[in-house]
Amino acid sequence: MRSCVITGAVWLLASDLAAIVLAKPASNPAVVGFGFQRKRAPEGTLKKRSNINVPMYNTQNAFIYVANVSVGTPPQNVSMQIDTGSSDFWINTPNSVICTSTQQGCPMGTYSANQSSSAQYLSSDFVVDYVIDGMATGDFITDNVVVSGTTIKSMKMGLGYNSSCLANLWGVSYPASEGIVSTNASSQYNNSVLQMVSQGLIQSPTYSLWLNDVAASAGTILFGGIDTSKYQGQLQVLPVVPDPLNGKTDALLVNLTSVTLSDGTQLSTNMTEFPSPVLLDTGTPTITVPNDVFQNLALQLNVTIVQGIALCDCGLANSTQTINFGFNGVNISVPIKSIVEQPTAVDLALFAHTSQSLPSGICVFGVDPVSTGNSPIALLGDSFLRSAYVVYDLANNQISMAPTNFNPGKSNIIEIPSGAGGVAAALKAMNGTTSGNGTMSATPSGTTMPSPTSTSSSASAATTSSDADAMTSGLGQGLVYVGLLAGYGFALLL
């Protein structure tokens, strides 16, 4: 998770969303799914973890995932940033420091426990620290959360009374990375994903992500299940690796084993950098790679870093090449043209501030180097995740990946059961097969469900009136991909 400071944003509210309905098939798999829409803004943000180095001025950090939810009784509507890089669900209060000290207030909304009859006070030791420039402290409470028609009852959450973050955060990583653990390890609690399991909403603490391509306006996140229509080939099960900084399994890291260009050029020439732990993080769209890999990539594509920004010829936007990321058997290909961006107002302002200017025909390149210093961790965010279908399994410490399917048609949802089998057991139960290397069939004959944008008559017939009402009731119509405007340096933060 990056710095949580937002200085301005273009928010798409729930009332602006087209209805996105995930129909329930007759077998009713225990899954909680959300559709999301993608919105673009030209500016950036930062990363949270001190051992992940992300350039401050990278314009690729321009989007966040936001779930529109209602909290409490009567419901209070807020937007929550979905983040695989942190673990706490917490909301700003109307009188939080950040909301009262900025002219715009808190654009994602606020929540008052005093206005909810279902809120229950727990303690005053909520704390989360995003290392670079974001933090929040306040109370722990429980209250009901409704998202996309599903109610998570008495969910434990934090209230940010003293906060420097404009965003409300919905962390879905390991409980071991909850903010309270840094001050009191014995205070670890069941976060939202585990609470969904305990209430029978899902069978396992798992979720899968499908972002679709860079030009698409819809994607999905699915708790407790897999949509087999959303990927190509086979899912490869990878072990989550310990954080090299502390030796603990408290972050969603896997080992990157190679990086190449589609023409066969080997970019990972210094093999001492591999395997390299990488964080698969929905919280930022940037990509960082080991320094040696970046240097070779820059040489091949004529990329130069100036004022902290990776720059390239805009002609790369027409490239047919891909950057191929290898993970011990699975390869994800990221089109180079999808990570070439026109410079934003913040980029231009930065160069104007330094009495420089960007020549015409120069674009921003969406890959940056990570240092080789103290326990470096590379970061694969949105620009990478658009090309991958990713399943996170918190119980079995596994992440499964396959190349994404950009044109999936009707969804095919299968439930991930509890127990050691995880993703492999789910696919095997649906007539898939497993092999010794952990790969699985991509085409089990599971129950079909329409995709968020499907209009097929057969899909509509599978949804009863009551099911459709339940899925579309309340504020939570789905996830919105929204623009994020962050300043380059502290002078522009407020």
Is the Cα dihedral 176, 179, 184, 186 positive or negative? Answer: negative
Are 345 and 43 contacting, i.e. CB atoms less than 8 angstroms apart?
Answer: yes
Helix or strand run (H / E) with residue 465: helix 465-472
Contacts of 407 (CB under 8 A, 6+ apart): none
Q: Is 139 a catalytic residue?
A: no
Give ∠ CA 217-450-453 in degrees, rounded to 5. 20
Q: Tokens standing for 172?
A: 């879905």
Which of the following is catalytic: 83, 143, 250, 347?
A: 83
DSSP labels, 40-74: --S-------TTS---TT-TT--EEEEEEEEETTT
Q: Is 313 a catalytic residue?
A: no
Cα separation of the two ends of the chain: 20
Cα–Cα dist 299/136, whole Å: 42
Range 135-147 burial, b when 16+ CB lie within 10 A, else e: bbbbbbbbbbbbb
Question: Is residue 275 reached through a cis peptide bond, with omega within 30 degrees of 0 on the bond before it?
Answer: yes
Which of the following is catalytic: 139, 143, 281, 368?
A: 281
| φ and ψ at residue 208, rounded to 5 degrees | -125, 150
Whole-Å CA distances, 438 to 29, 118, 203, 348: 24, 45, 21, 47
CA of residue 90 relative to chain centroid, distance = 16
Are 218 and 37 contacting, i.e. CB atoms less than 8 angstroms apart?
Answer: yes
Cα–Cα dist 344/339, whole Å: 14
- Which residues are identified as catalytic? 83, 281
